[in-house]
Structure 1
Amino acid sequence: METSASEKMVRYERGEVKRDQEALVAVEYPLTIYVNREELVTIVCTPEYLEDLVIGFLTSEGVIRGIQDVDQIEIVESTGHAYVTANFVNKFNAKYRAKRYITSCCGKSRENFYFQSDASLLESFNETSISLKPETIFRLMMDFEEASQTFHRTGGVHNAGLCSAEEVLLTRMDIGRHNALDKIYGYCLEAGMSVNDKIVIFSGRISSEILVKTAKIGCGIILSRSAPTELAIQMAEELGITAVGFIRDETMNIYSRPERILIEN
């Protein structure tokens, strides 16, 4: 399915009006997820890597424990439905989150809040051994941005990626920043990829929700062009995650666990 569409617009530029112009805009696609024939939720997303999104979302939200709980997934793109057959479902989480409509906005539409108890269930990353040189961070961010073609065309999506200490391994984009990370998570689960030596790279703000999703994926370092929130920094410190923001033009801010960034002086 197409992830962008052409729309007519009127452009105003330095006092000049240009009519009947065309602009590429991001596509919004509602996907309704059914688990064992019961409607769970409708997610508004970008229509690609939908199976990764479904698996990542269900696992991240605690509806299932992981890919081992999924017997089958059927995506019907023409109607916007995902049918999941699962051999295990966390009934509490499934009922608690039943029949929600999750918009693509970046506010608190996912959940009223990710409570501290959610983070307390996560693994501490104090033993993460991966480390990065500053020049590696700048190169990874440059490669990540070059791969963000849909953003450059539309300006209307968020981008997330997974890196090793040497290169960007994969990228996913979505109109919803949470969705982009769920697509990364879903891919890792399906591929059985080891992530304890991997890095999350992200285009947007590191909020507490994004920090928790990074922890759930299993990565001990997150890199971003944007800033973290106060709560995200506190949680990163508690969980042992290195959060690096404002990575631009060979500058960066290291907000937590700076020992993993190999600075000489």
Structure 2
Amino acid sequence: MALLPADLLEPLAYDAVDLPRSAGAPRLSRAKRPLLRHIVIVDERGKRRTIDIPAERALTVFVDKRELVTLMTLGACPELLVLGYLLNQGLIARHADVDSIDVDWDVNAAAVKTRAGIEDFDAKTAHRVVTTGCGQGTVFGEAMAEVDAIELPAPTEARISHATLAVVLEQMRQRHSVHKQAGSVHGCALFKGSEMLVFVEDVGRHNAIDTIAGWMAVHDVAGGDKIFYTTGRLTSEMVMKAAKMGIPIVASRNGVTAMGHELATRLGMTLFGRASARRFLCYSGADRFEPEDGAGDVHAQAVAASASQ
């Protein structure tokens, strides 16, 4: 059978290494939806042609039959998105608090069944804060109050070299993605060294990081020796989510906000921004970064290393 050109294949908006599920992981449905939709447009020359656009859809989350929130998502892995959302919002303490998550696209709903309910549900969901979250827009509770309880590995225990970061960036550059084919989405990935463990795209960067949080929980993956990459800007909320996931090193193709920088500095987190190809800026936590001599040759080394993986 002849292979289709890469631009005619639907890209993977969710891709992960195969790991065993952790004990007590909730039962999850598998309700992936098509990622792209074909539409006819008229270009600047008046020519009609068909293009792909991301298939954004609404998913309303019910926890123990109580409506919680509506998330706008591609639907690449909605169950992990919901689980990660509950964890990152502080509504559950661990994945074992959830018995099951069932997504039904006929009614655009996710039904979460907990094992013992959510303590102080009304209090935890009463305070909503408007944020810069793409496709999300609110957070519950006083997330900043949790900062002092977060402990990340010391700089001597979690480090990143110039060469490793270059390989990470090159892998992201080469990846066949929804963004390359249709635009209008954000991508996030989790690395251990230069090995990509999981990659997620969604209509908002918050959805993508929440999905990775769900994946980490289901597979009992710790964040202390990991690197998190995102195409989106590093706001205080994105930094906070990465910190709650235990990840000390974060890189973004985009920039860093003042509150994101302040929070990362307070937490001792390493932030790289404007990270693309050969160039990046280390905004905070430079004591984790290992620059190398001959930095001009690192890009070529990264291309070769990425091609061999």
> Shared fold (TM-score greater than 0.5)?
yes
Distance 1:221 1:128, change over 3 A: farther
Letter in 1 for 2:166: F
- Going from structure 1 to structure 2, the CA distance change for 1:156 and 1:59 (only over 3 Å counts) comes to same
Pair 46,95 (structure 1): closer, same or farther in 2 beyond 3 Å: farther
Distance in 2, matches of 1:27 and 1:94, equals 33
Equivalent position to 1:152, from 145, 163, 180: 180
Alignment of 1:4-83 (within 5 A): 4-12=36-44, 16-18=45-47, 20-83=48-111
1:106-130 deviation line (CA, Å, top 9, x unaligned): 2882239965324334334436712
Unaligned runs of 5+ in 1: none
Tell me the distance in 1 between the aligned counterparts of 2:142 and 2:185. Answer: 23
Give the aligned partner of residue 187 of structure 1. Answer: 215
What is the one-letter code of the residue matched to 2:59? L
Q: Please report how far the alpha carbon of residue 166 of structure 1 lies from its aligned counterpart in structure 2 after TM superposition.
A: 2.4
Cα offset, 1:261, TM superposition: 1.0
**Is the Cα–Cα contact under 8 Å of residues 62 and 90 in structure 1 kept in the other structure?**
no
Superposition map of 1:90-169 within 5 A: 90-97=118-125, 106=134, 109-111=137-139, 116-126=144-154, 129-169=157-197
C-alpha change, 1:128 and 1:212, in structure 2 (3 Å) is farther
Query: CA contact under 8 A between 2:161 and 2:292: conserved in structure 1?
Result: no
Q: 1:198 aligns with which of 207, 226, 237?
A: 226
Give the aligned residue type for 2:280. M
Distance 1:122 1:231 in 2: 17
Amino acid at match of 2:34: E
RMSD of aligned residue pairs (Cα, Å): 2.5
Q: Which runs of 5+ in 2 are unaligned?
A: 1-32, 294-309
The range that moved more, 122-131 or 139-148, is 122-131
Alignment partner of 1:259: what SS?
A: helix
1:85 CA drift (Å): 1.0
Q: Distance in 1 between matches of 2:235 and 2:288?
A: 21
Identity percentage of aligned residues: 27
